[in-house]
């Protein structure tokens, strides 16, 4: 579905809808008294242009939010397609106070050495690497290297695809502090997410590995 949307160009409208919906829901949650510090959204490569920070700033203003309310996630491939333009757009987002995450790290063309130059605040390791680390010693070594390099750059690392306690423990043992996946929670409607934030019991979290709350808000 995403690939078709990318090819047809409709992904631009999808990006705008997601941005608007996320800002609207954060504002509504806060008005109801929920402490929702930040929500993450994904942005396609089609919006790696000077238009992106303009759209984000306008959406935040419409809903009375500051930049710290939002994290924009972009893939490696989106950034390297036109690195200069993408870097400028992401740098401007960060000046607005928006957090920028490099999503699906390990599937694109960037390297560990490039991380120091990219205007990002967080690195998210692709779930393919995370899950292959169960039985692949090479993947384990690679993951450990990524975690250590990011720590040396003071970049938080989020391991994607954490689907059970054993995998969470494995990544925690490598030094990973943040995880995202079905072990911590599944896509939720807006109302069910509100229940989660207000204390509905959820799955246990391995010590030293915390869940990165990145809710998918459904209509």
**Tens-digit pLDDT profile for residues 56-114:** 999 999 999 999 999 999 987 788 777 888 889 999 999 999 999 998 887 665 666 67
Separation of alpha carbons 1 and 175, rounded Å: 35
Structure tokens at 195: 């229940």
Question: Read out DSSP for 69-83?
Answer: GEEEEEEHHHHHHTH
Question: Read out DSSP for 114-178?
Answer: GGGGS--SEEEE-HHHHHHTTT-HHHHHHHHHHHHHHHHTT--EEEE---SHHHHHHHHHTT--E
Separation of alpha carbons 86 and 120, rounded Å: 11
- Residues 37-65: b if buried by 16+ CB within 10 A, e if exposed: eebbbbbbbbbbbeebbebbbebbeebeb
Q: Which of 3-12, 80-89, 110-119, 122-131 has the lowest mean pLDDT?
A: 3-12
The model's confidence at residue 7, banded by pLDDT at 50, 70 and 90, is: low
Higher pLDDT, 2 or 183: 183
Largest Cα–Cα separation, the chain: 49
Rounded to the nearest 5°, which phi and psi values hold at 205? -115, 130
Q: What is the pLDDT of residue 44?
A: 85
pLDDT, tens digit, 9 for 90 and up, residues 146-181 = 888 888 889 999 999 998 889 888 888 888 888 888
Q: What is the pLDDT of residue 61?
A: 98
Q: What is the pLDDT of residue 115?
A: 77
Quick one: average pLDDT of 188-204?
66
Question: Residue 188 pairs with which residues in a beta bridge?
Answer: 217
Domains in the chain, start-ordered, CATH in brackets? 1-98 (3.20.20.450), 121-219 (3.20.20.450)
- Would you say residue 51 has pLDDT above 70? yes
pTM (2 d.p.): 0.84
Separation of alpha carbons 10 and 24, rounded Å: 21
């Amino acid at each position: 579905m995403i690939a078709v949307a990318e090819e047809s160009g409709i992904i631009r409208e999808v990006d705008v809808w997601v941005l608007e919906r996320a800002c609207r829901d954060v504002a509504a949650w806060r008005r109801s008294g929920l402490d929702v510090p930040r929500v993450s959204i994904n942005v396609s490569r089609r919006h790696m242009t000077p238009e992106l920070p303009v759209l984000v700033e306008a959406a935040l203003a419409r809903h009375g939010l500051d930049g710290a309310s939002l994290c924009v996630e972009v893939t490696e491939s989106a950034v390297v397609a036109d690195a200069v333009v993408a870097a400028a757009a992401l740098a401007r987002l960060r000046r607005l106070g928006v957090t920028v995450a490099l999503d699906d790290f390990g599937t694109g063309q960037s390297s560990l050495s490039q991380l120091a130059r990219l205007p990002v605040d967080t690195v998210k390791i692709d779930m393919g690497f995370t899950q292959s680390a169960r039985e692949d010693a090479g993947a384990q070594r690679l993951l450990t290297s990524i975690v250590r390099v990011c720590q040396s750059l003071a970049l938080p690392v989020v391991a994607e695809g954490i689907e059970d306690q054993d995998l969470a423990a494995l990544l925690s043992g490598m030094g990973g502090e943040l995880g995202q996946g079905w072990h911590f929670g599944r896509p939720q409607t807006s109302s069910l997410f509100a229940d989660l934030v207000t204390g509905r019991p959820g799955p246990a979290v391995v010590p030293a590995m915390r869940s990165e709350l990145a809710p998918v808000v459904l209509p």
